[in-house]
Structure 1
Amino acid sequence: MTTLIFRFSSLGDVAITVPVIRCLSKKYPDHNFIVVSREKFKPLFEENSNVSFFCCDFKGRHKGFKGLINLYKDLSEFNPTRIADLHNVLRSKILSLFFKFSFKKVRTLNKLRSEKKKLTRSKNKIFKPLTSVYYNYQEVFNRLGFHIDLNKDHMFPGAKTITSNYNFNINTKNIGIAPFAKHQTKVYPLDLMQTVVSNLSKYYNIHLFGFGDELIILEKWSKAYQNVQCPSKSITFNEELQIISNLDLMISMDSGNGHLSSIYDIPTITIWGLTHPYLGFKPFLMDDNNQLCSSRDKFPLIPNSAYGNKTIKGYEGAMRSISPKEIIDKAQEILS
């Protein structure tokens, strides 16, 4: 039997599927699971023999409504019996509807929109933690008839072998730092992050992660301080995963890198701006003490959105309520 799994973006949300799919693969070795997503995410799903990957081409063959018909036809070739829609957006809803018309068993992610609205609104905010997205994904598969428990069934893989020529010294402690995020409200002030980098680089090897224009800043930091490197400029995504899986610690924003490190059992410190771990996006199995949040005493409207795409006047400096010393002390505590 074959199950299709839809999650087209973003990096963090796709990474969140990995522990759930590991459980499915382990508990149902005779079942085939096909992850349907963008080609760039393929390296995340190469661990298990009964998990394969189908690359969507949303700029070509699978573009637009006609493209979704093509995608449905392409996926039907696998004769799937169950469909897990872990995205719940218009594109995945239409695709799921096609399969429902073909009498396939389809279950869709509950995004907890109402609960998120209550947590992020400015008036009558209900400040309590929502179910982790990891467990929301698990629940979709349980409704499909699988029986998995992330707390009991999940096993972390070992560290990957680093195949690139990147200079990674396993004889000392290695810290990954991913100082950027999609939205500025989730980015720790760069002057403060530079203080963190300069201090930690005196004692540990630092590896800076980013892409695009972010690399300009990261390159400057790598040249300014000893023991600081920027692997993202010269390696593939798969090679980046190899490095991340060998780290001793990751320091990340509320972004995909924190999920990437956590799914390889790397201790992860997350720095939160106008979002908050109560929204369910805390990295996999990470300690609450590793979540460094902007002060709600000073900025009580936090969180104001689930994804950090909304600003609040007067909250531009919210993340400055987290001191570099707090981050440095937490890193040294974990690595001691």
Structure 2
Amino acid sequence: MGTVKTILVTRLSALGDVAMTIPVMKQVLDENPDVEIVFVTNRNWGALCAGIPRLSFFPADVKGIHKGIKGLYRLFREVRKAHRITAVADLHNVLRSQIIRTFFRLSGTPVAAIDKGRAEKKALTRRENKVLQPLSSTIERYAEVFRQLGLRCEMGRKPVFQPRILPGSVTAVTGPKQGKKWIGLAPFATYREKMYPLEKMAAVLGMLAREQGIQLFLLGGGKQEVALLTQLAAQYPEVIVAAGRFSLEEELALISQLDVMISMDSANMHLASLFGVPVVSVWGATHPFAGFMGYGQAPENAVQIHDLPCRPCSVFGNKPCFRGDHACMEWIKPVQIAEKVNEIVL
């Protein structure tokens, strides 16, 4: 074996985006045994890196000690002190990551950065003369950055992780699985345009809760989401609210044991994908064509309205509905979601 190459990888953003880097980094490490990766990301996401040999988690606190140019320079120095970096893979390509990679480039380290395909995404989401065709996936765009650095990375579809044994702290809430089909339901997303209306999701929950041999778990985060989920579960005593009760590590163990996940175009889709759990994903303002479908997920498990000329209207779901009626979500019938879940679990 030759000299070990240590690649610095940066992706400082939201949980879902960071989760999508994991299959790619795992593939790079599998195909390049002389490589190790130092992953600089949000200090809260360390659990995602657990159990992958030669992948080191390096926490960044961009709202605290690593804030601003001064803070990013401090981060650069901390990384260099701890590791001998031979190349930088910028999987984010925003101002912060550009500053970090510039510090490395000025010190003579080769760098490569993601091409986000902004022009083609603009063509996909514009109101007039849309170019409605599938774009390169985010997973593939990440892989291309490593190829630019001369590394092998041919993405497949195999799960990154095996199912995990549930710790006692989780089974105290969930009880044993005992042959039941476990379904996770994560109805929230960062933006309203990416969320299926909660009253309609309650109808989906009602349909699934009636089935024998099924255990439903409600997932989410933050006080407001936990309160809404608790309200939702009150009508169905057999539904368990898992939101707000576990660490990320514990939640990943629970997700790994699910038979299916119902999720929006949001983080839980990507977390479930790491374990090869089938996801029934619900799409409104955004579209799988933009490249954010969960890793290895079957396109036919995406629930969406196909004949709406305004879809998709944005890449991230962060633009208000210009029609004002949220037809892309409102027109999806609860039974469409429930039937898709039943196809997988029954």
TM-score (norm 2): 0.93
Name the aligned partner's letter for residue 340 of structure 2: K
Q: CA deviation at 1:29?
A: 3.2
Structure 1 residue 143, shift from structure 2 partner:
0.8
Q: Which runs of 4+ in 1 moved over 4 A?
A: none
Partner of 1:115: 120
Tell me the equivalent position of 1:285: 296
Counterpart residue number, 1:150: 155
Within 5 Å, which residues of 2 pair with 1:136-285?
Answer: 136-151=141-156, 156-163=160-167, 164=169, 165-171=172-178, 172-203=180-211, 204-212=214-222, 213-285=224-296
Q: Secondary structure at the match of 1:52?
A: strand
- Matched with 1:306 is 315
- Aligned-partner SS, 2:234: helix
In structure 1, the residue matched to 2:343 is 333
User: Offset at 1:285?
Assistant: 1.3
Contact 2:159 2:275 in 1 (8 A): no
Counterpart of 2:132 (choices 124, 127, 148) is 127
How far residue 235 of structure 1 moved from its aligned partner, in angstroms, is 1.0
Residue 314 of structure 1, CA deviation? 3.0
Is the CA contact 2:195–2:264 (under 8 Å) kept in the aligned structure 1? yes
The alignment partner of 1:53 has SS state of strand
Shift in Å, 1:141: 0.5
1:207-256 CA-to-partner distances (Å, cap 9, x unmatched) read 11111201111112222203211112221111000100110000000101
Residue from 16, 29, 41 that aligns with 1:37: 41
Q: Distance in 2 between matches of 1:321 and 1:261?
A: 26
Is the 8 Å Cα contact of residues 23 and 155 (structure 1) preserved in structure 2?
no
Q: Distance in 1 between matches of 2:251 and 2:277?
A: 14
Amino acid at match of 1:183: Y
The answer to whether the 8 A contact 2:163-2:257 is kept is yes
Residue 90 of structure 2 contacts residue 97 of structure 2 at CA under 8 Å; is this kept in 1? Answer: yes
Distance of 1:141 and 1:255 partners within structure 2 = 25
Supply the distance in 1 between the matched residues of 2:80 and 2:331 (Cα, whole angstroms): 52
C-alpha displacement at 1:119, in angstroms?
A: 0.4
Scaled by the length of structure 1, the TM-score of the pair is 0.96
Tell me, yes or no, if the aligned pair for 1:189 and 1:320 is still in contact at 8 Å.
yes
> Quick one: distance in 2 between partners of 1:127 and 1:155?
29
Following TM superposition, by how much is the alpha carbon of 1:155 offset from its aligned partner in structure 2, in angstroms?
A: 5.0
| Distance change (3 Å), C-alpha of 1:300 and 1:155 | closer
The Cα of 1:271 is off from its aligned counterpart by 0.2
Q: What 5-or-longer segments of structure 1 have no aligned partner?
A: none
The whole-number CA distance in structure 2 between the counterparts of 1:31 and 1:314 is: 50
Give structure 2 stretches of 5+ with no counterpart.
none
Q: Give RMSD over aligned pairs.
A: 1.3
For 1:263 and 1:49, locate their aligned partners in 2 and report how far apart those are by CA, in whole Å: 16
Quick one: which of 94, 98, 106 aligns to 2:99? 94
State the AA in 1 paired with 2:174.
N
What is the aligned length? 333
- How far is 1:49 from its partner? 2.3
Deviation at 1:106, TM superposition (A): 0.5
